Structure formats: C-alpha cells, structure tokens
Structure 1
C-alpha cells in the first residue's frame, strides 16, 4: 500500500491536550516546545521517558532564536514559502504518528516503510526531509539515490525500541548462540541453518546490516508472517528483534507454542535462558518493546466493551499478547486505517495505537465514533520532537544552499543492509 497525502478537515492535534499519567510514564511537559529539553540526555517527557537511553545517541543542537520565538502562523507561512521556492527539489515525508502541524506540510503520509518507498519515487529530488525518527531516515538514505540528501529535522527524534537492540548486543548474542547451537552459517542435512536473524524495520541501519550479512531479512508489521515463513524455510529457528510483542504475536498466530519462544535479555548470560530452551526454540525473542503500545491493557478493552456495546476493537501487533488476544483484530497502522475506511456503516472503534493517528482518523471519519483505548493522551515522545520550527529551519537552510541534519549510512553498513531490505521487498504477503 503506497503512502498517501492526507488532507485534514479539522486539526485534531493533541498539542494542547496532553494528559498527565498517574503512573508518571507520561508528563504534561510533552506539550512544551521540544527545544526546552533538547539538551537534556534522554528521550524527553512522554511514554518512553523511563526507557534506557544510549549515551552516544545523537542530540539536537539549539536552533536559531528566530524559529524558537516564532508563532504558529509565522512558522507555517515560512514553511509554505520555502516549499514553494524549493519546488520539486525537496520532498517532505510525514509519519502517521506525527503531530498534525507537521502532517499538513507532508507530500506523503504513511508508516516507516511506505515512506521509505515514497522516497524512491522521487529520484530527482535533491533533499528528502523525513519527519519521523532516526531509523526511518536511515532507511530512506539506504533506499534513496546517489546525490540525494536525507534530512531529519530534529536529531533528537530517536526510537527507544530501536535503541533496545544495539549492534554490540546483537553481535554478542550471536556469539553466545554459536556456543550453544554450533556454527550458525552451516546448514544441516535438510539445508537449514541453525538460526535466521529477522529484524523489525524499527531498528538501526547497523542492525539491518548485521541481518544482511548473516542471511537474514527485515520485516514490517504488515508482512511479519510472510517474513517468518521465509525464515523458517531457511532455518531451524529465528532470532527476532527488537520487538518481542510483534514476534510473539505473529509466531503464535502461526502455531508456534509459547514454550518454544524463549526471551533473550541482552543483560543476562545466554539471554537469561537455559541452553536446552534455546536448543528447543523456534523463535528467540529479543527483550524489546514499544513504550506507546505497551501502555494498552486488557482492562482498557473490557472498559471499552462495557461503555460501548458492539465496539470494534483493533490494536497494533506491537501490543502485548494478552491485548492482541482480547481485541477483535490486530494489524499495522495501515491495516487499522484501511479497516476504518472500509466500514460502510457507522461504527464505534476503539483503537490501540498512537494517539495522533487515532485522533486524525476520528477527524477524517466523523460518521464513526473513534477513540483511543488508552484514556491518557500520551503520544510517542520522540516523534513529537519534530516541531514546525525545526521543519521551517531545515527548509530555509536548503533555500540558502545549506544542508543541515543530514543522515547518512556508511558504505560498509549500507551494502548488507540493502540486501536485507531487498529480501523484505521480495517477501510480499
């Protein structure tokens, strides 16, 4: 499904409606301008604020005061003027989870993979401005043409899930698995290798490169089952990272027993599992998760059914297994969007995914009642770092002939990473 341009009839932005979370996982400070915490180590206020933060993660330097001090109308006017001046020299991509102040300026709106594909459709654009997070910009750089610059408006827009699997941790895991399972690149009498690595799109370019070097593949939330089938045709078991929930939910739906899905915690010897558990495994799950989707609970679903009889509950497969099991359906952001678009009668939907997308869908489909399962408005904190001030800054720098915040992947990583991505492209559901 291609990325699409979305036109909003009204602005359902959550910028002024951040709700405090009694657990402390989401802070009302998230509504503040991102530059107020750009120089503070960590992901900033929001759902991932308590997640471990890599020391060497990119940080965004202070942007000029003229952008920080500008009002909304001025910023939007400057963005539009810069876009008009640049014309087809630039393409702006906006992720589904971006705030609507950003989405309104995007040429394409979609999930991470849809937008990476959209970048390939503009080979003549000099710059691709990716309004998303760091791993998405890296993927766009991998798939873009020579001479194209990929720009991330705020370098502090990372992803806590992607950061939960570092290249050093994955390589150490691979070495420990070899100690238990033997040489991992040697097929057995049936032509199957001991382990095939599979990484979710929500991972660094370095991880994608590792996967490409070791006969593995990248997956998305929409083709995870097809990718696991591809991997099982080539290996006895799969090492799936960094999101445990997508791996578990997908494998369980394919009939893999839970006892054959041990967890790998990179901070424990052998990931915290016994050698026999690894030897008897079919899917080894990395101890990673999405902080937003982990917020959804079975209790929230029960409350939605109690308050809205006949409600249709759809959740993202990054949600915990119990939540996916309790829902009526699960699927990627695009699956959720298409389910709502395909409903021919007025329907009440309870959605388990990021709040910006849910409120945007509610604005676009007023014939339905659409609400988020989580009563606390807690957007993806790192996605929220892309503010119109940063977009105006990077665009006006392009107008002036300067490229800032360019994201590049080194050639030694890019080659094998593209191999893993090409395998994913060929593994269509």
Structure 2
C-alpha cells in the first residue's frame, strides 16, 4: 500500500516539495508559480472534456483520436464539485467498506491524488502481474489507460471484473496501430516475403510480429495468432532475441523509438530498419528495402517522450556539470544517444534508489513520476528534462472524482465501466502475453 501524500522538505532550501502535478498546475494558473505549463486547460476537471472526442489537454492533445474511441458518460455532479479532501475521504471510506473484494492499481504516471489510494503502483507490466496475483478480489480498479485495463482482463480470472474509472483514458500511441492497419500491412508484407506462416529450410519464419505492451488487445491477439510476442520496455531486447531466433526479421509496433533504440543497441544497422507508415502506399518504403530489412518499424510514438530533446540535455549539463541523465527508451534515438542511460520507468526508479551519495538527476519521462521521485528521495536533486509541465493527457483523465464514483458504485452493488475482451481475441492474446512473461531479461 502507498502512504498518504506527504510534503518532504528539500535539504538544500528547506522548502516543502509537493509531488502533486495538479497542485503545481493550479499554482501556475492562479499566478502563484512562475513555472510554465503546455496548456492551462489542465487545471480544469477532465469531465469538461469527456463530452467531446479527443485525448484531452496535455501531451497528446495534438494527436487525432480514432472514430469510435470509448467515451465517458457524464460524471455525477457531487463528484465534480467535491473538494480534494472530500474525495479523499469518500475514496478511503469506500475502500474500507469493500475490503479485499477490490484491489486498486495505479500506474506510475497517474496523478498523485490517485496514486495515494492505490494498493499497488507500477508500470503496465508490473500492474498486470499484480492483477494476476489477486484472484480473491472481485473487482480490479485499474487507474491507468484502456490497453492496461484490457491486459488486466486478459490475465485475471474470468469472474473478476476490471474497471477503468474513466473510459476516455485511452493511449494515443496504442491507437496509432489499429488492427485494420496492421492486417493491411501484414497482407502487403506477404507479397514481398511469401507465406508468412510457413518457415523456410532453416526453420525460420519470414517475419515475427512483436507488439509493445502499449497496444490494444486486438493487436495482442493478432500477434498471438501469427507466432509473435508482446514486449515491455524492460524486456524488449530479450524479446527481440527471442524473435530473431524464430524469424528472419521483425515487424515491431506501435512505438518506433523503442524498437529502433533496442535494435540499434543489438547491432542492427539503421539502414536495415525501415519505417512502415500505414498512411502511405507500401508503408512509404519499397520492396527491396523491405527484403533487406531486419526490423520493420511502425510509424508510432509516445507524445510524452517525444517532447524530450538533445537541447534539453545540453542545457541540463551546462547548468549541472555533474548531472546524471536518464531517459526512457520511448524517447527519440538522438535523445537516448545523448543521455547517460536509458531504461524503463522501473529502471529509472531503481537507479535513483540505488544512488548512495547525493546526486543530480535529469529525467526524461512523464512528469508525475519525476515529481514523485523528487519527493521520495529528497537527498538528491531530481528534475524533469522538459521544463514545461505537461503530463500524459490520457493518464490525467483519471481524476479522484472518477475513482470515488466507481468505488461508491461498487459499494452499492453496481459495476460501472467494466472492460472486457472478447473470447476470439483473448485466447491468442494470452498466448502472446504468456510468451512475454516467459521472456525475462
């Protein structure tokens, strides 16, 4: 269980450090802070944006949301007007009433006011494991985004319900690889490589599909049907090694940067990693390039991690000559190359926890996690490479008001916002996920 939100004094100036990104944004909007945010709309409640299509204000607001993306109904008024303290109280009381019948999972990128109520906090892979580890719970409340709740449904018991507090909490990266586009790509690759499901004389398939955890259940099902596997940012290299042992090449989606950074570190030349853009004929490439490819990268990306730049790293080094720069592998290649280290959110947390002497860290990942780490480890100076406060717009759609609402609905015997994966998708998707779980670094 996480502890309630606390204000931890910094040793260098004795001022309290508040891990709440929302508090910081509210201070910017009221003029109490001179910091900068990417949009002052972040200060509003997410319910103001649920009635219209889009990812909401923040890092992903420039991305185009697919037609038919889940929409959230209107949150009842009492939850919209309640104070932070009132919502905290209602959530606490509802959790006490539900006891072991519910487990609340919170992603690292969630706002602090939600994370303080989570029974387990982690990345999507760790939280999927936490869902699997609690067969006694009747309901899993997943404070994350849609693909994460789908994965929890795939890995939990059939009778368990998985609830997403706000159905509008999607993922723009996951949406960049739709099942229709991936199947079209697969058909076109068959024109170049031949029968994709038949191994050659060496027992290798022409191409192995690999999808990042940040993808829909439908994509995971596609991968499972075609001999492929799911990867995480923690085991991407191990998964690529698994795939190369079984195929001539890899189709990697939806995040081009994780695929490129991982394959490059394994020695795959950049000219053998063409990009497949589903909006262009033949993916924007040609048959000969595809024939020579070792990794075909999908034209997808994380809007949060695309904000980080080499210029930000240069500035951090100029202002803090002893700085240790760690970035997430979803960042562009030039940013990963310029950093001291790159790794998953869990890698970043462990690196900071393992530092035995006071250290200055510049971190290239989502701001909610960075500020939480800065508050948790006050002996270090920890700051986000991007000085503009701009959280993941879709994670930010999970507000304490929604968490209070779904928990009180569960207390009343109702199950709102249940996420279910159809049987035709779930069976092959579980195959791909089981392969992922076995691919330990």
**Aligned residue for 1:81?**
93
**Aligned residue for 2:382?**
370
Tell me which moved more, 224-233 or 11-20: 11-20
Secondary structure, counterpart of 1:313 in structure 2: strand
Measured in 1, the distance between the counterparts of 2:83 and 2:313 equals 40
**Aligned residue for 2:204?**
192
Q: Relative to structure 1, is the Cα distance of residues 377 and 25 closer, same or farther in structure 2, using a 3 angstrom cutoff?
A: closer
Please say if residues 275 and 298 of structure 2, whose CA atoms lie closer than 8 Å, have aligned partners that are also in contact: yes
Please say if residues 242 and 288 of structure 1, whose CA atoms lie closer than 8 Å, have aligned partners that are also in contact: yes
Tell me which moved more, 7-16 or 179-188: 7-16
Please say if residues 8 and 364 of structure 1, whose CA atoms lie closer than 8 Å, have aligned partners that are also in contact: no
1:95-149 superposed Cα distances (whole Å, 9 cap, x missing partner): 0000000000000000001001001111010000000000000000000012100
- Structure 1: state its 5+ residue gaps: none
Q: Does 1:258 align with 2:255?
A: no
Q: Does 1:341 align with 2:353?
A: yes
Aligned match of 1:389 in 394, 397, 401? 401
Q: Does 1:110 align with 2:107?
A: no
Tell me which moved more, 157-166 or 10-19: 10-19
Q: Does 1:243 align with 2:255?
A: yes
Shift of residue 8 of structure 1?
4.5
Q: Does 1:331 align with 2:346?
A: no
Please say if residues 25 and 48 of structure 1, whose CA atoms lie closer than 8 Å, have aligned partners that are also in contact: no
Q: Does 1:233 align with 2:230?
A: no
**Aligned residue for 1:296?**
308
Matches of residues 75-224 of structure 1 in structure 2 within 5 Å?
75-224=87-236
Secondary structure, counterpart of 2:248 in structure 1: strand
Secondary structure, counterpart of 1:193 in structure 2: coil
Measured in 1, the distance between the counterparts of 2:263 and 2:205 equals 19
Alignment coverage as a number of residue pairs: 423
Please say if residues 276 and 283 of structure 2, whose CA atoms lie closer than 8 Å, have aligned partners that are also in contact: yes
Measured in 1, the distance between the counterparts of 2:221 and 2:328 equals 26
Measured in 1, the distance between the counterparts of 2:166 and 2:434 equals 28
Q: Relative to structure 1, is the Cα distance of residues 6 and 197 closer, same or farther in structure 2, using a 3 angstrom cutoff?
A: farther
Measured in 1, the distance between the counterparts of 2:399 and 2:5 equals 18
Q: Relative to structure 1, is the Cα distance of residues 342 and 197 closer, same or farther in structure 2, using a 3 angstrom cutoff?
A: same
Secondary structure, counterpart of 1:371 in structure 2: strand
**Aligned residue for 2:428?**
416
Measured in 2, the distance between the counterparts of 1:6 and 1:409 equals 33
Aligned match of 2:55 in 40, 43, 47? 43
Shift of residue 7 of structure 1?
5.8
Aligned match of 1:267 in 273, 279, 289? 279
Shift of residue 6 of structure 1?
5.8
Measured in 1, the distance between the counterparts of 2:161 and 2:22 equals 30
Measured in 2, the distance between the counterparts of 1:5 and 1:259 equals 46
Matches of residues 7-46 of structure 1 in structure 2 within 5 Å?
8-10=5-7, 11-18=18-25, 26-46=38-58
Q: How does the TM-score come out when normalised to structure 2? A: 0.94
Shift of residue 5 of structure 1?
4.0
Secondary structure, counterpart of 1:59 in structure 2: coil
Measured in 2, the distance between the counterparts of 1:108 and 1:318 equals 24
1:7-64 superposed Cα distances (whole Å, 9 cap, x missing partner): 65324111133369xxx99311012100011111110111111112101100000011
**Aligned residue for 1:316?**
328
RMSD: 1.3
Secondary structure, counterpart of 2:278 in structure 1: coil
Aligned match of 2:67 in 51, 55, 59? 55
Measured in 2, the distance between the counterparts of 1:84 and 1:427 equals 37
Q: Relative to structure 1, is the Cα distance of residues 91 and 212 closer, same or farther in structure 2, using a 3 angstrom cutoff?
A: same
Shift >3 Å, 4+ stretches: 4-9
Secondary structure, counterpart of 1:236 in structure 2: coil
Tell me which moved more, 25-34 or 310-319: 25-34
